[in-house]
Structure 1
């Protein structure tokens, strides 16, 4: 493994000496980059991946502590490990270094041993972290796939919805490890489009290249089957301009450069709305002005997004199938109007997958055979696809409704049991409980037995007997008083029920030693 090391100090002699020590005293493969300006070093740390960074605490344009602080704001990353080099033995500097989570603090003048031992310790720490990371990646391969799917569906939400109303943006920042409150958008399209599968694969390969080059700084989504949409996190207009230059520089080196069209938005804050940024990038990609002639398509596109969002929201509350069927019919008409046959296939497949994710992807085979469905869609005409799509969505919503009803029923039974447990000593009947939770008594009785394994009457009687046993153990109340205290209106019936559940009368139970009492 090659360890990438950055050295930043405004004194060239210091830079050269640390570089010389490392190159001549370490057994590991290393790659060293050197800088004499703090700002230049920060830009390289942000756009490249380093394992270790030596930074001088005092540099004219940006000191080492400020550099680390700026880096931490923009990157949520384990590496590089920062090693501060300073001629100042001041408590305030050391305290701030600890606050910024610096790995080590080396005072000038330093020895060869100071540098070598610190780097060896850093490499040992890096190896430990990477080993754990590898183990976690292997354990969480499925979660990574789910994260990518979440990212793909999150981008339209970020762009076209009021995020503050529908998601906790801070939570998504933690999930993706990226600032979502400001940045730029890029829209990329292929000039020469092949069949759907080939075009999708090519866009996906471009997406992977961008993700590799801008890890922790970009979210991506392949939208409408022919556009790659990228959100690049940035904290300022200046940083956004650096991104644009860097992105184009990387893309120009790729073999597909001459077959892509790219458009960028200006720098935007989340509260300004990223929808405007999207259309800015979209029209820049098409190399046209945003004019009135595009408003109709823009309106239809937003209407499509809105219907998709309604369907996704409805999957978890599928109580009105006729309304949902109306959404599906509208969406099918829009898909046919807006997209060609290949893109129609992609849109249909994508929406079905998003709905499966909403209802729980682990249960997808219980809902629909997705592999078979995709095969059908890819080998069908537009008219056939619409019918397949409608049938699949109605199946999904029917299954979701069954699941939804089961959840509601289980929640109601749980609440009913909680109510019984708290009010067992009151007069409670099956009719009262079922009415309180909006159930038909017969249906409630069946649900209750299915959920608890016993009838309502048996559950209530057993609960009362268990509490009576506690009173017989721990109180001097008479048997008659205890029968009333636990909800029996007839002491004779209480004695009969008690004997049925325990095998003895209340008096016999009370006379037993505590360790011999069965309940």
Structure 2
């Protein structure tokens, strides 16, 4: 049980001593006792000690007990107050009720009565402290849960899998609604494999955004820093101007604090949480383009801007390198995300541009390369179909046969027979 602080206020020392003696004999180890001789001292001692319980006389010189209580209530409305007085006046009782006084004792009082009132007071204080302790513990649990909720909600938006979670509950806990919002993707320039720095910048940027807007973010397990920013209105030009200014301010402050430069892509503001994935895709596209060498790229500007003259040749050269990488690593697991990361590109931009340059979506192209390589191996009669399957990156011969037939119209066995 916690130590309870008690303040006894009475202008008569004999009365104070009498109360103290009765209480000490009964509650000595539970109480820390302070004294006051008048209303002014009650206020001063209260401000210094912050007692949990006050026993005070009403009639004291200068500031009386009721006036002192009024001042104390301004500081702490929940302190437990017991009034002791020799005057059974109705007006005093009315004032006491107004000031949320818990108990009222008339002089002369009995030892038993005082002890009973003190037991009630100590029980009340301990219950309130326990309640407060539980509230703080619950708040701490919720506070510790917030980053987890933020990350899961952010990942669900990024991966377009909001349907898999109860996002309304997440929003309620986060005290957000996302009636209107947009995505911001932040790329750190010339920073490789420094997760500690990335986390520090991520936290700094999030705190900076939170000075102006409510936001959730993800930067622990994403290549770039990703933020979803809640705004009150969807006035396109107004939101665009504010978003571009915010992004420019972030670039400036991060350069000042961390000495690194950023590229920031900003998606168009949309209505509702479900549509934020589209804004995220727009921010990813924006960050891949240069618009007048600006560090901040707003999607609406990007789609209307002309790419540099050599953009097509640069892209073709880049994806020729991608093509060679696939051929060289055909035996390995080369999924889209890993390959995009290998060339420092966002998955969305990589997928879209891959089809634009090579004419196939990524998975079809990888399968075509593998099947063509398989046909080369099958021409060598010394290799079994199972061996060929593993040589071109498939782990299941049945699946290999299924894919082979899809692209060649015949099974690997029939292909080998035709060679003979």
Do Structure 1 and Structure 2 share a fold, with TM-score over 0.5? no
Instruction: Give the TM-score normalised by structure 2.
Output: 0.41
Bigger CA radius of gyration: 2
TM-score by length of 1: 0.34
Structure with the greater relative contact order (CA < 8 A, sep ≥ 6): 1 or 2?
Answer: 2
